[in-house]
């Protein structure tokens, strides 16, 4: 009975936490706003002179703007807590007995703590 309860709890917690983590990881980056001064120059369809260069080349920093910093790069502390909690639930289900139950309950607490702060 305990093993089934722990396994069911692990499945429910993982099902609740996985879609949120995937949605954040797969969210498209925000596109920069187009201005009237922005011009669009289509690239040629064939081989170019730039593609034939080999070796070390000097990169001009003036032509390319630095990449914007995205505050949501990486999983973050809350997602890591959810993953560790889910892993502890699974490990507790595999171990079984009183020790496994304690590990599973602690894992559920850690996972729910991470989920609580992830939602806020």
68 located within any domain? no
Position 36 scores a pLDDT of 53
84 located within any domain? yes
Domain total in the chain: 1
Indicate the Cα dihedral angle 46, 52, 56, 61, nearest 10°. -30
Beta carbons within 8 Å of 103's beta carbon, 6+ residues apart: 88, 91, 92, 95
Q: DSSP code of 49?
A: S
50 located within any domain? no
Structural domain boundaries enclosing 109: 1-25+74-120
90 located within any domain? yes
95 located within any domain? yes
Position 83 scores a pLDDT of 92
**Range of lowest pLDDT (15-19, 23-27, 115-119):** 23-27
């Amino acid at each position: 009975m305990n093993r089934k309860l722990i396994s069911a709890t692990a499945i429910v917690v993982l099902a609740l936490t996985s879609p949120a983590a995937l949605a954040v990881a797969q969210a498209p980056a925000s596109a920069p706003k187009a201005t009237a001064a922005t011009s669009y120059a289509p690239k040629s369809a064939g081989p170019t002179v730039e593609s034939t260069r080999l070796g070390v080349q000097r990169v001009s920093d003036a032509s390319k703007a630095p990449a914007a910093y995205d505050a949501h790069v990486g999983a973050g502390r809350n997602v890591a807590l959810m993953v560790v909690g889910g892993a502890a639930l699974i490990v507790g289900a595999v171990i079984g007995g009183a020790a496994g139950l304690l590990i599973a309950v602690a894992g559920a607490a850690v996972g729910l703590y991470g989920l609580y702060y992830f939602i806020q």
